[in-house]
Amino acid sequence: MSRIETDTVFVRRDFLEPEAPPPSLGGVPGWVRKNLFSSPFNIAVSLAMLLLLAWALPPLFRWLFVDAVWTGTNREACLPKNGETVGACWAFVNAKLAQFTFGSYPADQRWRPSLAMIVFFLGLAWVAIPKMPRRREGVWLMLTAFPVLTFWLLYGGLGLPIVETSNWGGLLVTLVVAVTGIVASLPLGILLALGRRSKLPFIKIVSVVFIEVWRGVPLITVLFMASVMLPLFLPNGVNFDKLLRALIGVALFTGAYMAETIRGGLQAIPKGQYEGAASLGLSYWHSMRLIILPQALKIVIPGIVNSFISLFKDTSLVMIIGLYDLLGSIQRNFSDANWSTPSIAPTGLIFAAAVFWVFCFSMSRYSMYMERKLNTGRKR
């Protein structure tokens, strides 16, 4: 075919302006149509949802903010006056905030737990943010020096007045139980995971039984065991702290879950890595320490964070054996005659829920972020 090259042939040299989309598809109406009212079923669902929101949200908003009492020094402030409805009693939370954070830790010593919490969050930021320098050293410091420093700060001795653990409470106990649990369960979990994958039959059986028994029972029975049975197991006269007993229970329990998380990481390491280590003549412990565990632990970081989230939520159970964590100290204050009104139970519980939610939600976002980051590292 020959090409026609005459001046009479019209050749368009520039693009036409695109037509605007039909009004029913573009802009806000189009979006609404596409995402809310695309089919009879969707119309029904959307209308039902809108009705539900219109029914639930305004009263909730009124209760939380508009009708809420923000200031006051005792229950009078939160009692309904001349027929008005009273919403959340934030004055209660405001008045008890120090107790919800530190329990009955002496007021003049509260700088100690505050300092420990600040050090903890700074240290956490150091090891958790990928761009920070010297993170490896940070991890070691957090796992070794930080617990010692915190114990000294919180308990006292060596120049600081001693504060018995029965005075600890509130968010402080929640953090202590959660952080100790996770720090203690890491080495235990690593040993159990290695034991479960060991070729030595007896070691394997012991690890499997340990892991499955702890995973098969509820934490509450473990805490009961720690609080009533543990004293019986020790020689007569040896008795230790209630908080420490709970910590032992929590650490053993979390260790079993941690073992399963880490085992997942160990199984994800290609066989070639094990064989490569063996062919270099490394002993079992050398190959684990230098080749396998660094890779396995790196993949399971999201899993470890998830374990930490569930542990953080589970710390609220120590309330049942008589320790006053965040939830426990809030719950204890429901019976404070100075504040007793119908609205303090919902207010206090919503406050506790908000605190737990902020911690857990940010951790879960962090876990998802690490998962994405680690995934891209492994993709070719």
Partner 1 sequence: MTLRDKTADDSPRSLVRAVLYDATIRGWVFQGLVLVFLILFAVWVMHNTAANLRAANIPFGFDFLNMRAGFDISQKPIYYTLDSSHAQAFKVGLLNTIIVSVLGIVLATIIGFVVGISRLSSNWLLARAATVYVETLRNIPLLLQLLFWYKAVLSVLPGPRQGYMLPLSTNLSNRGLTMPRPIVGEGFEIVLWVVPVAVVLAWALARWARRRQVATGQSFPVFRASLGIVVGLPLIVFLALGAPLSFEIPELKGFNFVGGMVVHPELIAMLLGISLYTATFIAETVRAGILAVSTGQSEAAFSLGLRPGQTMRLIVVPQAMRVIIPPLTSQYLNLTKNSSLALAIGYPDLVAVFAGSTLNITGHAIEVIAITMAVYLALSLITAALMNWFNARVALVER
Binding site for partner 1 (CB under 8 A): 35-36, 38, 42, 45-46, 49-50, 53, 199-203, 206, 213, 215-221, 224-225, 228-229, 231-236, 309, 313-314, 316-317, 319-320, 327, 331, 334, 342, 345-346, 349-350, 352-353, 356-357, 360-361, 364
Q: How far is CA 282 from the centre of its chain?
A: 38
For the CB of residue 111, give the shortest distance to partner 1 in the complex, in Å.
29
The span from the CA of 13 to the CA of 79, in Å, is: 78
199 vs 380, which CB is nearer to partner 1? 199
The span from the CA of 162 to the CA of 175, in Å, is: 20
For the CB of residue 178, give the shortest distance to partner 1 in the complex, in Å.
11
The span from the CA of 104 to the CA of 169, in Å, is: 6
66 vs 205, which CB is nearer to partner 1? 205
For the CB of residue 54, give the shortest distance to partner 1 in the complex, in Å.
12
Contact 69, 86 (CB under 8 A): yes
117 vs 225, which CB is nearer to partner 1? 225
70 vs 284, which CB is nearer to partner 1? 284
The span from the CA of 2 to the CA of 49, in Å, is: 65
Q: Which residues of 219-230 are buried (b: 16+ CB within 10 A; e: fewer)?
A: beebbebbbeeb
CA distances from 131 to 125, 127, 128, 361 (A): 10, 9, 9, 22
43 vs 66, which CB is nearer to partner 1? 43
For the CB of residue 235, give the shortest distance to partner 1 in the complex, in Å.
5
102 vs 351, which CB is nearer to partner 1? 351
103 backbone dihedrals φ, ψ, rounded to 5°: 70, -140
For the CB of residue 130, give the shortest distance to partner 1 in the complex, in Å.
23
Torsion of CA 309, 310, 311, 316, to 10 degrees: 110
The span from the CA of 324 to the CA of 111, in Å, is: 20
The span from the CA of 314 to the CA of 118, in Å, is: 23
317 vs 370, which CB is nearer to partner 1? 317
Contact 148, 186 (CB under 8 A): no
25 vs 228, which CB is nearer to partner 1? 228
The span from the CA of 77 to the CA of 343, in Å, is: 11
Secondary structure of residue 89 in the 3-state scheme:
strand
70 vs 361, which CB is nearer to partner 1? 361
Residue 4 DSSP label: P
157 vs 235, which CB is nearer to partner 1? 235
CA distances from 4 to 11, 119, 237, 240 (A): 11, 80, 109, 100
For the CB of residue 290, give the shortest distance to partner 1 in the complex, in Å.
18
For the CB of residue 310, give the shortest distance to partner 1 in the complex, in Å.
9
For the CB of residue 218, give the shortest distance to partner 1 in the complex, in Å.
4
For the beta carbon of residue 326, count every other beta carbon within 10 angstroms.
Answer: 25
For the CB of residue 30, give the shortest distance to partner 1 in the complex, in Å.
13
The span from the CA of 252 to the CA of 25, in Å, is: 59
For the CB of residue 104, give the shortest distance to partner 1 in the complex, in Å.
21
